[in-house]
Amino acid sequence: MKKIHVTYKQKNALLCLLAILIACIFLFPLYWIVVNSFKLDSEIFAGTPTLWPKEFTLKAYQDQLGNLRITMKNSILIAVGSMILSLCLSVPAAYGLARYRVKGMKLFVLVFLITQMLPASLVLTPLFLIFSKLGILNSYLAPILSTSTISIPFVVLMLRPGFLSIPVELEDAAKIDGCNGISAFFRIAIPISKPTVITAACFSFVFAWNDLAYSMTFNTKEAMRPMTSAIYTFMNQYGTKWNSIMAYGVLLILPSCLIFVTMQKYIVEGMTSGSVKG
């Protein structure tokens, strides 16, 4: 018996080691973004890449401060706006699809499943024409309205299983106590699913924050650009200033990383249910 115990321990250690190795190799690009943002231009240009900055510097960040003030504000406003809009629409919809036996439910689920698969590039041209007629190009409204279409179907599909798993008896009991359908939704369903609703909020924030296609197309004026399209423009102008580009990159990946580290479990669960089907 003892021998088996030891080999299990050894096997465990070996597997852990292998897993760490895989993670290190796989996550190397992430490390590369961060470490290069702290290097000097000259060090990157010198030829052989260094795994650790010879001279640790924040210069790449300082260089960008001026335009970051604008682009970061734009990114935040767009992401928060899109998050609020998509949550207001998708949380009730997910609840309705889970709780109410309405006619045409299959069709509604289908609408979300299909629209989720369709890419931005499909609707860029028509949306551009529509938005230009409405006169909302180069405003926050254009990217907010368009990026919400990414998160709404995702959040609906992601939240539905959670709402389905709440025991109906809970809401029935509340209804006997005089709650109507709407207040059962706000007083029972939402509080119980708080972690998943927060996860949904994170996803919709990140989807809008990460977007390039919509914001780049609709907001061409420099003052209205979010960070993603600003970094792209910057790359086209100063293609080899990799430390500045990576510094921008660090700031861009920061929200995703923070969210991910604090609520990894929920994110991973939500990702599976949101991208497959509810």
180-239: contacts with another protein (CB under 8 A): 181-182, 185, 206, 209-210, 212-213, 217, 228, 231-232, 235
46-75: contacts with another protein (CB under 8 A): 46-49
Residue from 5, 106, 194, 221 in contact with another protein (CB under 8 A):
106
| Window of 54-62, 66-74, 166-174, 259-267 that interacts with another protein by CB under 8 A | 259-267
| Window of 57-65, 166-174, 193-201, 270-278 that interacts with another protein by CB under 8 A | 270-278
Tell me, rounded to whole angstroms, the distance of Cα 59 from its chain centroid: 28
| Window of 31-39, 62-70, 166-174, 190-198 that interacts with another protein by CB under 8 A | 31-39
Number of residues that bind another protein (CB under 8 A): 99
Q: Which is nearer to another protein, 132 or 165 (CB)?
A: 132
| Window of 53-61, 88-96, 166-174, 190-198 that interacts with another protein by CB under 8 A | 88-96
**Is residue 113 within 8 Å of 54, Cβ to Cβ?**
no
Q: Shortest approach of another protein to residue 43 CB, angstroms?
A: 10
122-151: contacts with another protein (CB under 8 A): 122-130, 132-133, 145-146, 148-149
Closest C-alpha to 111, from 80, 157, 74? 157
Q: Which is nearer to another protein, 110 or 170 (CB)?
A: 110
Q: Shortest approach of another protein to residue 80 CB, angstroms?
A: 16
Q: Which is nearer to another protein, 24 or 58 (CB)?
A: 24
Q: Shortest approach of another protein to residue 206 CB, angstroms?
A: 6
Does the footprint of another protein cover residue 42 (CB under 8 A)?
Answer: no
Does the footprint of another protein cover residue 45 (CB under 8 A)?
Answer: yes
Closest C-alpha to 89, from 144, 142, 32? 144
| Window of 52-60, 64-72, 152-160, 191-199 that interacts with another protein by CB under 8 A | 152-160
Secondary structure of the chain as H, E, C letters = CHHHHHHHHHHHHHHHHHHHHHHHHHCHHHHHHHHHHCCCHHHHHCCCCCCCCCCCCCHHHHHHHHHHHHHHHHHHHHHHHHHHHHHHHHHHHHHHHHHCCCCCHHHHHHHHHHHHHCCHHHHHHHHHHHHHHHCCCCCCHHHHHHHHHHHHHHHHHHHHHHHHHCCHHHHHHHHHCCCCHHHHHHHHHHHHCHHHHHHHHHHHHHHHHHCCHHHHHHCCCHHHCCHHHHHHHHHHHCCCCHHHHHHHHHHHHHHHHHHHHHCHHHHHHHHHHHHCCC
Q: Shortest approach of another protein to residue 69 CB, angstroms?
A: 19
